[in-house]
Every structure is written in C-alpha cells, then in structure tokens.
A and B are shown apart, each in its own frame.
Chain A
Amino acid sequence: DTGVSQDPRHKITKRGQNVTFRCDPISEHNRLYWYRQTLGQGPEFLTYFQNEAQLEKSRLLSDRFSAERPKGSFSTLEIQRTEQGDSAMYLCASSLGAQGEQYFGPGTRLTVT
C-alpha cells in the first residue's frame, strides 16, 4: 500500500458551487480523519470515522459540510454553496485503532473564487 491518497489534488471553484473530495486511507486502517489547513497554520480537526460511523464533528464543520464513509473504506467530504472562506488545504489522515499515529495524505487544495 502506498499510503493515504486524495483526489483531486487541486480544485478551483466559483463561490456558491458544490465540491466533493475523496480520500482513500491505508487499506487496513479503520479510522479516517479530515482536517483543514489554512496558510501559515497547523491542520485543524474537522471530523473522524471509525469504520463507517462518524464519531465526532468539530464546530468548524458547518451545515454546508458533510462527510461520509459508506463502506468503511474511502470517504468523501462535500462542501455545499462554497464561500471564499472555505479556501484551504483539506487533509485526510488514517490510523489503525486509537493508538494515536495518524498518517496524512497529500491534501486537496481548494480555491474558491
């Protein structure tokens, strides 16, 4: 396995459009996390899944954001009615159980114009 993968790597969209990102975790990892990173900052937690169950959502995750992991493997993060403030790098990470080590993908850079 080559690690966590994310698609697309870059997305430019106009304000008001919907976007969807995909994350494929390391194959045996049962936990999957989404973080958001803005320029000059560390990643900020958005939400995480254990298998297909979404266990926690940050208050950063407004009603316009929704994440799914329908079969406990890949996950999607959808942003509806994008705003300029949504411009950021969206990072996905995965881990095996709850021992702490989270491995990150390359991220999807979103630019809202």
Chain B
Amino acid sequence: GENVEQHPSTLSVQEGDSAVIKCTYSDSASNYFPWYKQELGKGPQLIIDIRSNVGEKKDQRIAVTLNKTAKHFSLHITETQPEDSAVYFCAASMPLIDDKIIFGKGTRLHILP
C-alpha cells in the first residue's frame, strides 16, 4: 500500500522567513496530494492541494510543488507569521480508485518572534 514519508518532524523559522516541508510517496498510482494544518485541539484543516497533472500551485503565501518522476512533493510557506505555527501533514490518495487518504507523520512548525 501507499506510504508517505515527511520531514522534518520539527521546524523552527524566524518570523518573516520561509518554511519548506518535504514529502515522498511510494505508490505511483497516487494522483492527489493534499496538505493539512492542525492546530492544538482541532481537526486537520485542508490548506492546499495539488493533483498529478499540475507541477505547482500557489495560494497567497503558500505553494506546493510536485515531482511525479521522483515521487516528491513539498509545501512552501513564505513570509511566515505567528499564526502559521501548527502541525502540518502531507498526504496522498488516488480518488476513484482508493478513496482513503494516507498521511505523513506531520511537521511541527514553530514561528519564532
């Protein structure tokens, strides 16, 4: 089955700097890659996603890139702000074939003042 690896497990960046979280997946059939942000005591919140027919997607300060050949995808957050502090999860799935989402283990992002 699909396996998603995520790193780093913890990341501290100065406010205003950029943060990058990287993930790899194992099943080449996966074609949908969402990213979730989870704050303490809350459920995961979908913040951005990318499908396999696209190499990059941007939404304001966040962007995702996908390299299907290498089975890598990454989340980039620019101009980080205190409210970006949270746990971020990458995930992979193959809608229409297998609907479950396979999550990475998460990255705890700390934004330092």
By a beta-carbon cutoff of 8 Å, the part of chain A in contact with chain B is 4, 6, 31, 33, 40-45, 48, 55-56, 58, 91, 93, 95, 98-107
Q: A42-B104, A45-B100, A106-B42 are in contact. Are A100 and B95 (CB under 8 A)?
A: yes
Complex Cα distance, B34 from A105, in Å, reads 16
Q: Are B105 and A42 in contact (CB under 8 A)?
A: yes
Q: Are A44 and B43 in contact (CB under 8 A)?
A: no
27 contacts between A and B (CB under 8 A): A4-B43, A31-B99, A33-B100, A33-B101, A40-B105, A41-B105, A42-B4, A42-B104, A42-B106, A43-B101, A44-B103, A45-B101, A48-B99, A48-B100, A56-B98, A91-B43, A93-B43, A98-B99, A99-B95, A100-B49, A101-B46, A101-B49, A104-B44, A104-B45, A105-B43, A107-B42, A107-B43
Complex Cα distance, B6 from A102, in Å, reads 20
- Size range of the chain B interface in the assembly: 20 to 34
B64 within 8 A of A: no
By a beta-carbon cutoff of 8 Å, the part of chain B in contact with chain A is 4, 6, 32, 34, 36, 41-46, 49, 51, 89, 91, 93, 95-96, 98-106
Q: Are A43 and B95 in contact (CB under 8 A)?
A: no
Q: Are A43 and B34 in contact (CB under 8 A)?
A: no
* CB nearest to B51 among chain A residues: A100
Q: Are A104 and B100 in contact (CB under 8 A)?
A: no
B106: chain A residues within 8 A (beta carbon): 40-42
Complex Cα distance, B95 from A55, in Å, reads 14
Q: In the complex, given contacts A43-B44, A101-B34, what are 11 additional A-B residue pairs having Cβ atoms less than 8 angstroms apart?
A: A4-B43, A42-B89, A48-B100, A95-B99, A100-B34, A102-B101, A104-B36, A106-B41, A106-B42, A106-B43, A107-B42
